[in-house]
Amino acid sequence: MASTVTYLLTRADVQKALSMADAVRAVEAAFVAYGEGRAQMPPKSYLRFERGDLRCMPAYLADVGLAAVKNVNVHPLNEELPTVMATVTVFDPDTGFPLAIMDGTYLTAMRTGAAGGIAAKYLARRDSAVACFVGAGRQAATQLAALMTTMPNIRKVLACDVDADRAEAFARGSAATYNVEASAAPLADAVSAADIVTTLTPVREPLIMKDYVRPGTHINAIGADAPGKQELESAILQAAKVVVDNWEQAAHGGEINVAVSQGLIARDDIHAEIGEVVTGKRPGRQSPDEITVFDSTGLAIQDVACAAHVYRRLTSDAHARASLQTVDFLAGD
């Protein structure tokens, strides 16, 4: 019988059900499904406000038998509230019934981290030991958690942020959680010392210059996810092997969007989409000296994959189900 129960899942529920290892597994499987043409994912659509925007991100993964729509904002001027907040509604593809509405903020950070970890697995040098984080805000912790899951040789963390207290706090937290050497460091020095650089700022003027970047470095460019945003000098993109999560999204609002709109790079200059790399259709890193860039805009399939994992994990046994909040949308007069 088709389910007519809608679960309301809080952040605590999602946290309980989704570890970083779970998120990496779910997102990698989603990238494979996408690379092999088994995912439906229309482009995300944007509502623009004076102080931010709201994005609607639908996708269907036949492999997990569920569809979902995430609604997520980006409001960089928020002070009390986070920059990014999200809810995910999970649907039964057979009936269209909403099976769950869950907090998507933690899920967004987890699936974004997972994508960075997976990209590093295919594109960074296997012996990568030093990870630099540019922007020590909310997404940074899950990017680190994912690298610690997929890159077994990370020994040192360098943190950079215009807000020196945030960089210090991130370094302290990294050292305490993962038993790695960690410190705040000046941007150019930290990038030059790193094997993997993760950029996580909302800037619109590049802050990573080509001469900071050593041969052999892998860069996860995460922060640019809307038109006009750019963290890397375009010369880096012109010199590097660039892998995007999705060409249309990346050209519209990812790290490459400004360089594409200025005619500095074109589709032919992009090495691959991540789905092509994880399925082996296109190679990942091919030499220890190449500079690689993963341009992450965030795909709706990442959200569906993680939301489906959470839904199944929390509702698979009667005992766990009994403690969850539900709402009866069909109740009426």
**The token pair that represents 213 in the structure block:** 């970047």
Does residue 52 touch ligand NAD according to CB under 6 A?
Answer: no
Residue among 8, 19, 34 at smallest CA distance from 302: 34
**The token pair that represents 281 in the structure block:** 């259709």
Residue among 260, 241, 258 at smallest CA distance from 119: 241
Does residue 74 touch ligand NAD according to CB under 6 A?
Answer: yes
Crossing angle for the helix pair 20-35 and 300-315, to the nearest 10 degrees: 130
Does residue 138 touch ligand NAD according to CB under 6 A?
Answer: yes
Is 22 within 8 Å of 309 (Cβ atoms)?
yes
Q: Which of 16, 44, 70, 210 is catalytic?
A: 70
User: In the complex with ligand NAD, which residue's Cβ is closer, 162 or 327?
Assistant: 162
Residue 323 burial (CB count, 10 A): 8
Cross-strand pairs, 292: 218, 241
| Three-state SS at 286 | coil
Q: Which of 104, 117, 275, 298 binds ligand NAD (CB under 6 A)?
A: 298
Per-residue buried b or exposed e for 212-250, using 16+ beta carbons within 10 Å of the residue's own CB? bbeebbbbbbbbbbbbebbbbbbebbeebbbbbbbbebb
User: In the complex with ligand NAD, which residue's Cβ is closer, 182 or 314?
Assistant: 182
Catalytic residue status for 70: yes
User: In the complex with ligand NAD, which residue's Cβ is closer, 201 or 234?
Assistant: 201
Does residue 163 touch ligand NAD according to CB under 6 A?
Answer: yes
Is 90 within 8 Å of 311 (Cβ atoms)?
yes
Does residue 304 touch ligand NAD according to CB under 6 A?
Answer: no
User: In the complex with ligand NAD, which residue's Cβ is closer, 174 or 297?
Assistant: 297
Does residue 253 touch ligand NAD according to CB under 6 A?
Answer: no
Of 20-28, 46-54, 128-136, 257-265, the window that binds ligand NAD (rule: CB under 6 A) is 128-136
Q: Which of 296, 300, 306, 308 binds ligand NAD (CB under 6 A)?
A: 296
In angstroms, give the least distance from the CB of 316 to ligand NAD: 28
Q: Which of 24, 136, 237, 308 binds ligand NAD (CB under 6 A)?
A: 136
Q: Which residues are catalytic?
A: 70
Contact positions toward ligand NAD, by CB under 6 A? 74, 83-84, 108, 112, 134-139, 160-163, 166, 200-203, 207, 222-223, 225, 296-298
